[in-house]
Structure 1
Amino acid sequence: MARLGVGKLGNVTGPGITDRWGVTCADLGASTVAPNGTLVSVFGDTFAGARVGQGDWRSPVILIGSGDPEHLVRYERAGGRDAAYARQLWPYQHREPTSARDRGAISTVIPSDLLRIDDMLYLHAIVNRGFGNVAWTEIWRSADNGLSWHNLSTRFPARLHHGHAQCWSWDYDPDDGWIYVASTGFQRDKGIILRRVRPAHIADPRKYSGWGYRGDRRAWGRTPAPITPPGERWGELSLRRLSRRSWVLGGFVASRYALGYRVLGSPATELSSVPLQLPVIGSSWDDEDHAGGRVAQLYGGYVLPGSQVNRAGGVGLLVSQWNTEHGWPYRVMQFRATLIGGEQVR
């Protein structure tokens, strides 16, 4: 029996769904609502063929459509200059480095997360030189609802904050005017740190303020220290402001092989005092139960716009799955989950 409000709503990528845009195999799918009201989703390594490694390889790509926690996401066109085909958002050739001195190779560019501020969309991306070997990260901007993207010409070093600032998730709080950035390493062996920045300074690494320690107390303007309990290791992240004083932070908890989330009143919260809720957990391939929240080789776990806590099935999650032995399934699925934060579920 499925747990309350937990279960798969359907697949959002794959054959017969998104292959018309050359998106047969894809993962990730961090999403936001564009200024024109459409749902914009960004995907990582994407292939036109029937399994990983087959067909045209691109990353990142954009699909644009509609959907929310109660309604399955459906895409209507590709982002970029070609509505009929999801082209790589900016030109580079996928090439593995031939040696440690090969500084021109880019194996792939993995999207972290999308952010909307007023009429602008921002995309944080992770540049890999050899998969898992982050060269730097960077920010791109779209002024036309995700159709075209322009580099802000700023590189954030891979070693920034001891490698804790590689994989980002971020959201904007209009009440205090800050962008809050939760981040971790790309290697799934670190905790989460928190920073914030004003929108006007988003491209200036020097203007990011860390949530760290002044003596034995937390304060802004310090070197950021992990906000997660010792022993928690994280991968893909999703930080979302759902309403005033209602935030969700979570994603792929590598140390638990599950998708885990915390409901917060503010991003600047010591997470050891907040329970970690695990609506979707990992399983073996022969023990899957998508209706019950058990998924083999899962990751991702991005919170959909329109999600609500304290409501049965009120949180939408885009969940990735990759059978690394066979190369398929390699897809994004939509789940509904219930997250509790201070009130009774209704």
Structure 2
Amino acid sequence: MLPLIDGKVVDITGPGRTDRFGVTCTDLGASIIAPNGKLVSVFGDTFSGRRVGQGDWRSPVVLIGMGDANHEIVYEYAGGSDPAYARQLWDYIHDDAASGWRRGGISTVIPSDLLRVGGSLYLHAIVNHGFGDVIWTEIWRSDDSGVSWTHLGEQAKFPADLHDGFAQCWSWDFDPDDGWVYVVATGFQRDKGIILMRVRPDQIGQRSQYSSWGFTDGRWQWGQQATPITPPDEHWGELTLRRTAPGKWVLGGFLASSYALGYRVVSSPVANMYTTPVQTPIVGSSGSQVAQLYGGYLLPGSRFGVTGGVGVVVSQWRTDTGWPYRAMQFKAKLKDTSKTPRTPDPVNL
């Protein structure tokens, strides 16, 4: 068990950690427990060299091992065709303007988040034509705990302008109590708030079956044009939505408008985010906050109201030198506000 302290636990990628898989430089690291009990983590642009742009470039890649909020993460093998080397999960060539976009037009594919429903894992991924220029997003499925992945087809491709561009970067989780998969989403450009959608598990690959949560005719309801659920002064990047217990959900990630990690602990994905303050825990010990951080994916086993009870995966990229470019495991404290009495919402009484 890891000690209950706030701060950095360990680098989970980088030299001496994951370079044996060809994962020397990488970021992101959204993680989930697979049906076989292993921790599956998905990473973005990955390089075998010692800095960004050096060596073999792949994205997305998967590493599989053990660990959670209370135990150090250690990866044991790679997803994909070669357990000893983290291959790109599916074939495409990283194209760029220098080639005239003649190699398929896709610069890179960035993973959003992993979802587990029953014996299957799902991966939502963002297909890009240059940085910040999303072409479409899409969903893949694994039925062998994260090793091999299958595209769910044309109906599992979502246009970049869906919901006015608010549905590009996702996080999602399944609620077995009501049988819905809840999806939070925002734009890839870190200049938008968060919207909410839901879908039945057997319809994950059918974009027409996703219902959005919107404010219309003086009330919130499903099946409307999506309305941001977060206050208008909040802009978000990478997201994490996790159901940690019945009636307890965490929504957060990289709060770009504050350049910090931010989280809300709520009773439901449709809880009033305006009356639930966002918590921004300091990532790092006193005097050692992380520069150029992002990500902030919640780890399984997180506990609330306890020093060091919450586990998160945090990325750091020093953009001027290309290193550090890594994912790290941190511990932090979040208050459990899921059942705290709040001022009633006058709109939805």
Identify the residue that residue 13 of structure 1 maps to in structure 2. 13
Q: Which stretch of structure 1 is more off in the superposition, 217-226 or 94-103?
A: 94-103
2:199–2:209: 8 Å Cα contact kept in structure 1?
A: yes
User: Which letter maps to 2:290?
Assistant: V
User: Which letter maps to 2:298?
Assistant: V
Identify the residue that residue 179 of structure 2 maps to in structure 1. 177
Q: Does 1:200 align with 2:195?
A: no
Identify the residue that residue 269 of structure 1 maps to in structure 2. 271
Give the direction of change, closer, same or farther, for the CA distance of 1:21–1:290 in structure 2 (3 Å limit).
Answer: farther
Matches of 1:22 and 1:157, distance apart in 2:
32
Q: Does 1:226 align with 2:235?
A: no
**154, 157, 160: which is aligned to 1:158?**
160
Q: Does 1:105 align with 2:105?
A: yes
Matches of 1:317 and 1:226, distance apart in 2:
25
Identify the residue that residue 243 of structure 1 maps to in structure 2. 245
Deviations 1:89-136 (A, max 9, x none): 000000114699869311000000000000000000000011110000
Cα displacement (A) at 1:269: 1.6
Alignment of 1:312-327 (within 5 A): 312-327=307-322
Identity %: 63
Identify the residue that residue 285 of structure 1 maps to in structure 2. none
TM-score by length of 2: 0.92
Cα displacement (A) at 1:312: 2.1
Q: Which stretch of structure 1 is more off in the superposition, 66-75 or 175-184?
A: 66-75
Deviations 1:25-81 (A, max 9, x none): 000000000000000000000000000000000000000001111211000001111
Cα displacement (A) at 1:214: 3.0
Identify the residue that residue 302 of structure 1 maps to in structure 2. 297
Cα displacement (A) at 1:6: 2.2
User: Which letter maps to 1:9?
Assistant: V
Gaps of 5+ in 2: 340-349
- SS of the residue corresponding to residue 206 of structure 1 reads helix
Deviations 1:177-222 (A, max 9, x none): 0000000000000000000000111111111111102311111111
- SS of the residue corresponding to residue 162 of structure 1 reads helix
Q: Does 1:334 align with 2:307?
A: no
Aligned length: 334
Give the direction of change, closer, same or farther, for the CA distance of 1:109–1:259 in structure 2 (3 Å limit).
Answer: same
Matches of 1:343 and 1:149, distance apart in 2:
35
TM-score by length of 1: 0.93
The alignment yields a C-alpha RMSD, in angstroms, of: 1.8
2:28–2:42: 8 Å Cα contact kept in structure 1?
A: yes
Deviations 1:148-171 (A, max 9, x none): 000001210000000000000000
User: Which letter maps to 1:260?
Assistant: G
User: Which letter maps to 1:273?
Assistant: T
1:95–1:107: 8 Å Cα contact kept in structure 2?
A: yes
2:93–2:103: 8 Å Cα contact kept in structure 1?
A: no
Alignment of 1:51-130 (within 5 A): 51-97=51-97, 104-130=104-130
Cα displacement (A) at 1:293: 6.5
Identify the residue that residue 39 of structure 2 maps to in structure 1. 39
Matches of 1:132 and 1:242, distance apart in 2:
31
Matches of 1:340 and 1:74, distance apart in 2:
28
Matches of 2:120 and 2:338, distance apart in 1:
34
Identify the residue that residue 344 of structure 2 maps to in structure 1. none
Matches of 2:232 and 2:5, distance apart in 1:
30
Matches of 1:268 and 1:326, distance apart in 2:
42
2:265–2:338: 8 Å Cα contact kept in structure 1?
A: no
Cα displacement (A) at 1:308: 1.6
User: Which letter maps to 2:140?
Assistant: W
Deviations 1:11-36 (A, max 9, x none): 10000000000000000000000000
Give the direction of change, closer, same or farther, for the CA distance of 1:98–1:20 in structure 2 (3 Å limit).
Answer: closer
Gaps of 5+ in 1: 282-288
1:300–1:318: 8 Å Cα contact kept in structure 2?
A: yes
2:249–2:338: 8 Å Cα contact kept in structure 1?
A: no
Matches of 1:297 and 1:101, distance apart in 2:
30
More strand by share: 1
Matches of 1:249 and 1:67, distance apart in 2:
21
